[in-house]
Chain A
Amino acid sequence: MDTLRLVMEAAWKVLWVGLLLGAGLPVLFATGVRLLSGAEDTVAADGTVVTHGARPVQKLLAWLCFAVVLYGVVVGILIIVGGGMGKVVEFHGLLPVLVPKS
């Protein structure tokens, strides 16, 4: 059955790409959010509440995470826009380009 084979091949690809992006990007985003959030407030010996913000390194790493997520979102928007115009996204290295559907 050719149809079964074609569908299973496509579904398998969707599963892996989906895992990479669908689980990977939310995890990266969560990591970024977590890094930016710092730690829970603590109470010092004298009773004042101490907030623990993010350190500069954490901030840098967080924004790196967000940058990767943003790249994923841009690719996603290109796929949608391409779908509307009858085009598909092709990757030249990391650069996504819209090309006419073959």
Chain B
Amino acid sequence: MDAALIILLCVIGTALFFDFTNGFHDTGNAVAASIATGALKPKTAVALSAVMNLVGAFLSIAVALTVTNSVVKIQADDGTPLPELMGGHGEALLRIVLAGLIGGILWNMFTWLLGLPSSSSHALFGGIIGSTMAAQGVDGVKWVGDASKISGVLGKIIMPALLSPIIAGLIAMVGTLIVFRIAARGHGERTSNGFKFGQIGAASLMSLAHGTNDAQKTMGVITLALIAYGSWTHTDAIPLWVKVVCALAIALGTYLGGWRIIRTLSKGLVDITRPQGMAADGASSAVILASSHLGFALSTTQVASGSILGSGVGRPGATVRWSVAGRMILAWAMTLPAAGLVGALMWVVSNALGGLVGALVIMACFIAGALVMYLRSRHHQITHHNVDEIWDGGPRVRKSASRVA
């Protein structure tokens, strides 16, 4: 077994683990509001979302091979790796991708530990931008796109990050205001039951869209690595096994449920009532699908959080916990640079040690980091049992409170 093959296996394993974190990090986007309003039981909600993610992932027939092209210059226009990165079974490219993936995963796990909903795709791009910058210099990154289409870090990440939560928030606010007016009259219980179905529908739609979009990215990354190594040559097809394992990884992650993040979204930002939940979910689905239709790249996480906040602003008499929102927004702002920094550091370490040793050392750093954060999370566990306890100043559930339940 040569060194490049072992690095390739590391890349595939890491990419699948990223896909898995992508699943549990984003479960809350689709189901937090349904859990908060009791439209779905926590376990049912994550199971539904997992199934929709699985179906969505299998709907990905097109190849998202050019996934990194909008932000970095490591691939040609047709998606094949740049020739200068292809020497020695594409080791140079594999190392950039591996370091970038580790950056994305560690930031994803850190924000999950803190219960902060932050964008998984921004973490992935951040990591890869960082490792590319370390390897190729500042010129390796596409900062600003050209006039032909929206591209570059500015157009694909920074601007959408600033705009999409505001857009989603506004829409959810307007929706909530009107839905509350309508719901104020009429038969309370029967109306509330009706809203339940609206929420479940919107949550399913969002999960389906998530499976298609996000699993496609990991499939693209793994296929890119296979092409770099030389074991796959088609730029217009994905190996079937890649599709299957990616779909399973994201669905499994979703089913595991990122309870810490679900808790922040469902209880931390605002207290969500049925009409509000339906308005928030409706706004999120519409914004996600409209922008996918119009070619505007945005983060599902930021849209869902923006909608939930907006629905809080729109409901008469609701309290919005701006301190929680502030922490979340800080995490959004830090995602790109923080994941990038880790990605860059990983690349520098692997490059300094070189070859197989370098790759194995950063894999060890990655596993150690992930393990520490997992063990840390066990100090204050949040599960489907205590996810909907009352919010008492912070994401931690007080022991006495959980004993009552």
Q: Using a CB–CB distance below 8 Å, which chain A residues touch chain B?
A: 1-4, 6-7, 10-11, 13-15, 17-19, 21-23, 25-27, 29-34, 36-41, 52, 73, 76-77, 79-81, 83-89
Contacts and interface: CB of A to CB of B under 8 A. Distances in A.
Interface of B: 56, 59-63, 144-147, 149-152, 154-155, 159-160, 163-164, 167-168, 170-172, 174-175, 178-179, 182-183, 185-188, 190-191, 194-195, 198, 201, 205, 208-209, 212-213, 216, 275, 278-279, 281-287, 289-296
Contacts of A87: 62
Given A7-B159, A14-B296, A37-B191, 13 more contacts: A3-B154, A7-B160, A13-B290, A22-B283, A23-B286, A27-B178, A29-B278, A29-B282, A30-B275, A34-B191, A40-B187, A80-B59, A84-B61
27 contacts: A2-B146, A6-B155, A7-B159, A11-B159, A11-B163, A14-B290, A14-B296, A17-B293, A22-B168, A22-B290, A23-B174, A26-B175, A26-B279, A27-B182, A29-B194, A29-B278, A30-B195, A30-B198, A33-B191, A37-B186, A37-B194, A52-B187, A77-B208, A83-B213, A84-B60, A86-B63, A87-B62
A94 B284 CA distance: 23
B198 A17 contact: no
A37 to B, nearest CB: 4
Nearest to B154: A3
Contacts of A23: 171-172, 174-175, 178, 279, 282-283, 286
A84 B212 contact: yes
Contact of A36 (B185, B190, B278, B292): B190
A41 B62 contact: no
Contacts of A88: 293
Contacts of B164: 11, 14
B182 A38 contact: no
Given A18-B168, A23-B279, A84-B61, A39 B185 contact: yes
A2 B216 CA distance: 28
Nearest to A31: B182
Contacts of A3: 144-146, 150-152, 154-155, 159
B195 A33 contact: yes
Which are the 4 A-B pairs with shortest beta-carbon distances?
A: A22-B286, A86-B62, A33-B194, A26-B282
Given A10-B291, A26-B175, A33-B194, A15 B170 contact: yes
B167 A34 contact: no
A76 B122 CA distance: 24
Contact of A37 (B62, B190, B209): B190
A99 B290 CA distance: 17
Given A6-B149, A25-B286, A80-B209, A14 B182 contact: no
A39 B187 contact: yes
Nearest to B146: A2
A38 B187 contact: yes
Contacts of B188: 40
A10 B155 CA distance: 11
A98 B188 CA distance: 41
Contact of B171 (A19, A32, A85): A19
Contacts of B172: 22-23
Given A6-B150, A26-B282, A79 B182 contact: no
Contacts of A77: 205, 208
Contacts of A15: 167, 170-171
A22 B171 contact: yes
A66 to B, nearest CB: 10
Contact of B194 (A36, A41, A85): A36
A30 B182 contact: yes
Contacts of B291: 10, 14
A82 B79 CA distance: 21
A82 to B, nearest CB: 9
A36 B279 CA distance: 19
Nearest to A88: B293
Given A10-B150, A84-B212, A79 B171 contact: no
Contacts of A26: 175, 179, 198, 278-279, 281-283
B182 A34 contact: yes
B262 to A, nearest CB: 22
A75 to B, nearest CB: 8
Nearest to A29: B198
A7 B155 contact: yes
A39 B183 CA distance: 11
B202 to A, nearest CB: 8
Q: Which of A27, A84, A88 has the most CB of B within 10 A?
A: A84
A78 B81 CA distance: 32
